[in-house]
Amino acid sequence: MEASAIGAAAEPGERLGSYLARRGVASRREADRLVREGWVRVNDRAPSGAGQRVRAEADRVTVRGRPVPAAPPALVTLALNKPVGVVSTVRDPEGRPTVVDFAPGGVRVFPVGRLDLRSRGLVLLTNDGRLALRLTHPRYQVVKLYRVAVAGHPRPEQLERLGSGVVLEDGPARPLAVRPAGRWRHGARIELGLAEGRSHEVRRLLAAVGLAVVDLQRVAIGPLRLGSQPEASVRELGRGEHRRLLRAAGLGP
């Protein structure tokens, strides 16, 4: 048993999924998906899985026929104020605009999590796969804050039920924060804080308590706030912002 543990520790190379994420190809989850779906080759052969070990100095790795750089790139993280009608993917088979279309030329990044087509607000674009995993995995409890305009004015019992949690078709869900955020012409605004990112979760939570979403905007990810950043604009995070984001993800002092 002891010899086996020593052998595992001495196993050379890096897990394929981690290798792809550290080189800015995709987040860890997305990199694993690319391997599963057959888009990745190691030395012109299909890998055994995302756990296969690869070595930068000895193995040639390609994704969709494009070589993956042997050396990790300089890490970059961008903040985008996503407009409605833009998809949160690297590419779209229907030809719709994607969030990475807003990145400066020559910068290869991928979105951290998703914000659906009808929603707007803060999206992070990065080539740091480790940061992306920490920001999106519910285990790390990095809160995303959403400001939602709903039709009409919620009754107290609707907000109480929302704060207590509801059962959705994919399991129980409970916001970490629920608070009124003022009014608009045809109803009220609510702020919700969530640490997970299930598909259309905010919309489904509100529908479950009888509230119809008119506008949905993500205004914060952890300590990073959207603030007054103009819609459809993208910017690189400042050093202090990046440090605080790493700390929130458990990656910094």
Q: Residue 181 is encoded by which pair of tokens?
A: 């955020």
pLDDT tens digits, one per residue of 29-62: 888 999 999 999 999 999 999 999 999 999 999 9
Task: Domains for the chain: give ranges and CATH numbers.
Answer: 2-67 (3.10.290.10), 77-138+224-248 (3.30.70.580), 143-221 (3.30.2350.10)
Q: Catalytic: which of 32, 116, 170, 215? A: 116
Residue 103: pLDDT band by 50, 70, 90 thresholds?
A: very high
Please give the pLDDT value at position 6. 43
Residue 10: pLDDT band by 50, 70, 90 thresholds?
A: low
pLDDT tens digits, one per residue of 160-219: 999 999 999 999 999 999 999 999 999 999 999 999 888 999 999 999 999 999 999 999
Q: What average pLDDT does the segment 18-35 reach?
A: 86
Q: Indicate if 116 belongs to the active site.
A: yes
Please give the pLDDT value at position 187. 96
pLDDT tens digits, one per residue of 136-147: 988 999 999 999
